[in-house]
């Protein structure tokens, strides 16, 4: 010690060095602030996969994740404690085919409003999704990459969004929303707004897919065939070549992700599967052979029950449809019921996504799940479609998924604290999902309470 002290010329110098050492130790030995906790007591849990509810138990949430589940759990002294009163806890619902930036059809945002107005309308729709217990949504195409980024960074409230970015469509495809007199190369407005890309050939497909991933897309959406709500593509059309599909799939695989497609009939669906596409949206006019192939090869079906069975059941009521669009809607309605029944029979991986947008439908997202009962699906099967099945498909985005630190679509330790307390049991009465205003007593996303009306 005496040798150590002789190195200093004064007591003041020694004191200064000692204080610096003490400060350094305190800086590097600080303890992190404990994460906030919420203890929800006395709830019956449906975990997203089981066929029955659990008995009454407690769920402890720490930060954004579920920390533990069991009886008699203890929390920190400053934790928020909520009495669940033996209500049913379910995972936050997941919609797998949303279009937040489309209102009253694909042309409104291009012709009637600028992107500032459409962004504001998208925000209103996102809050409506949360009000209905949808804590996650996969965008099936449009210019919501910035909105998804803002939600991820905590700047906006809304469901977690897995964005596809702009649609990829061939000239004359389902996302070609130009006018009759447009010439090739004159549809740049689509690209400038990020709503969609008119792409022809492998090089253009690759460039658009890479641009979407560059801006934060978690997967890529292509238009593989004709549609109902578009002017130039007859419903029997098959769109994009195998080589063009393969270009998009190759880009997606390079990013560790996947491709989904808009497709209705056998030829377009099978061409997409040949190229490695993993999810088919719509699928209403395919044969049983194609359904069997989807089941055998693990290709998922994204189901839009309301639009095919209800809305297209009365095409005349869709006032903004042309006579040709109404005829296409009628054809879809006839094929959808049989297709859904085949998909259930062959145990295809089914997820639910409404494809419902605008003031007439924004508050009806759960109806897309409830309507699946009309084709023979049980409440248990349907609840899985809107939770754990959906989460399985979302996981196919790999490292492009910004929400990779917990599980989605389930109630278990380590899962994200996205949950709903329901006054009743949706496994017995699925229609409770449509009574969200009164029956959803607590809605939580990412460990934060969006709604709490528990008495």
Per the model's pLDDT, the better-predicted residue between 237 and 403 turns out to be: 403
Q: Is the pLDDT of residue 154 over 60?
A: yes
List pLDDT tens digits, range 11-40: 555 455 555 555 444 445 456 788 999 999
More confident residue, 53 or 173: 53
Instruction: Assign 329 a pLDDT band (cuts: 50, 70, 90).
Output: confident
Res. 353: pLDDT tops 80: yes
Instruction: Answer with the residue of higher pLDDT: 190 or 364.
Output: 364
Question: What pLDDT sits at residue 56?
Answer: 98
- State residue 307's pLDDT score: 87
Provide the pLDDT for residue 287: 98
DSSP 8-state secondary structure symbol assigned to residue 9: S
Going from the C-alpha of 394 to that of each of 215, 239, 328, the distances in angstroms are 18, 25, 30
Domains delineated in the chain: 37-92+408-452 (2.30.40.10), 93-400 (3.20.20.140)
DSSP 306: I
Please list, in sequence order, all residues whose beta carbon lies within 8 angstroms of the beta carbon of residue 222, skipping any fewer than 6 positions away.
167, 168, 169, 205, 240, 245, 248, 259, 260, 261, 262, 272, 277
Measured in degrees and rounded to the nearest 5, phi and psi for residue 295 equal -65, -45
pTM of structure: 0.90
For residue 184, is pLDDT > 60?
Answer: no
Q: Residues of 68-104 as b/e, b for ≥16 C-beta within 10 angstroms?
A: ebeeeeebeeebeebebeebbbbbbbbbbbbbbbbbb
What average pLDDT does this structure show over 250-272?
Answer: 98
Q: What is the pLDDT of residue 232?
A: 74
The more confident residue out of 322 and 27 is 322
Q: What is the C-alpha to C-alpha distance for residues 435 and 418, in angstroms, rounded to an integer? A: 19
Q: Give the pLDDT score at 141.
A: 93
When mean pLDDT is compared across 60-74, 107-121, 180-194, 390-404, the lowest value belongs to: 180-194
CA distance 211 to 230: 24
Which residues fall within 8 angstroms of residue 444, CB to CB, at 6 or more apart?
38, 61, 92, 135, 417, 418, 419, 420, 450
Tell me what pLDDT residue 25 has: 47
Hey, is 300 helix, strand or coil?
Answer: strand
- The reported pLDDT for the residue numbered 158 is 97
Distance CA 369, CA 306 (A): 8
Higher-pLDDT residue of 177 and 236 is 236
Question: Alpha-carbon distance 254 to 241, whole Å?
Answer: 20
pLDDT at 324: 78
Whether residue 393 is predicted with pLDDT greater than 80 in this model: the reply is yes
């Amino acid at each position: 010690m005496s040798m150590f002290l002789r190195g200093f010329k004064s007591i003041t110098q020694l004191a200064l060095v000692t204080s610096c050492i003490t400060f350094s130790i305190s800086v590097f030995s600080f303890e992190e602030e404990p994460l906030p906790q919420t203890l929800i007591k006395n709830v019956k849990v449906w975990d997203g996969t089981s066929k029955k509810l659990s008995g009454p138990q407690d769920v402890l949430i720490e930060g954004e994740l579920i920390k533990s589940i069991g009886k008699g759990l203890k929390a920190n002294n400053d934790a928020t404690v909520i009495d669940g009163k033996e209500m049913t806890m379910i995972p936050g619902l997941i919609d797998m085919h949303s279009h937040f930036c489309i209102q009253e059809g694909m042309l409104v945002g291009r012709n009637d409003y600028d992107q500032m107005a459409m962004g504001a309308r998208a925000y209103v729709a996102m809050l409506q999704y949360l009000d209905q217990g949808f804590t996650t949504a996969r965008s099936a195409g449009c210019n919501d990459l910035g909105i998804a980024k803002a939600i991820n960074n905590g700047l906006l409230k809304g469901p977690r969004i897995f964005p596809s970015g702009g649609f990829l469509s061939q000239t004359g495809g389902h996302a070609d929303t130009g006018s009759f007199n447009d010439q090739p190369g004159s549809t740049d407005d689509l690209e400038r707004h990020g709503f969609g890309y008119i792409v022809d050939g492998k090089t253009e497909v690759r460039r658009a897919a890479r641009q979407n991933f560059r801006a934060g897309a978690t997967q890529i959406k292509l238009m593989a065939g004709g549609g109902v709500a578009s002017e130039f593509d007859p419903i029997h059309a098959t769109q994009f070549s195998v080589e063009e599909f393969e270009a998009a799939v190759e880009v997606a695989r390079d990013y560790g992700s996947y491709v989904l497609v808009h497709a209705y009939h056998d030829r377009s669906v099978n061409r997409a599967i040949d190229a490695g596409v993993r999810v088919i949206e719509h699928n209403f006019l395919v044969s049983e052979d194609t359904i069997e192939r989807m089941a055998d090869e693990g290709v998922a079906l994204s189901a839009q029950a309301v639009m095919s069975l209800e809305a297209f059941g009365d095409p005349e009521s869709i006032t903004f449809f042309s006579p040709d669009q109404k005829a296409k809607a009628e054809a879809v309605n006839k094929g959808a019921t049989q297709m859904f029944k085949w998909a259930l029979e062959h145990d295809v991986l089914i997820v639910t996504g409404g494809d419902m947008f605008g003031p007439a439908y924004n508050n009806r997202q759960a109806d897309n799940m409830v309507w699946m009962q009309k084709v023979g699906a049980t409440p248990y099967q349907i609840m899985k479609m809107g939770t754990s099945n959906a989460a399985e498909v979302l996981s196919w985005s790999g490292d492009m998924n910004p929400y990779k630190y917990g599980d989605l679509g389930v109630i278990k330790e380590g899962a994200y604290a996205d949950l709903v307390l329901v006054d009743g049991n949706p496994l017995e009465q699925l229609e409770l999902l449509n009574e969200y205003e009164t029956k959803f007593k607590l809605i939580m996303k990412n460990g934060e309470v969006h709604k709490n009306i528990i008495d």
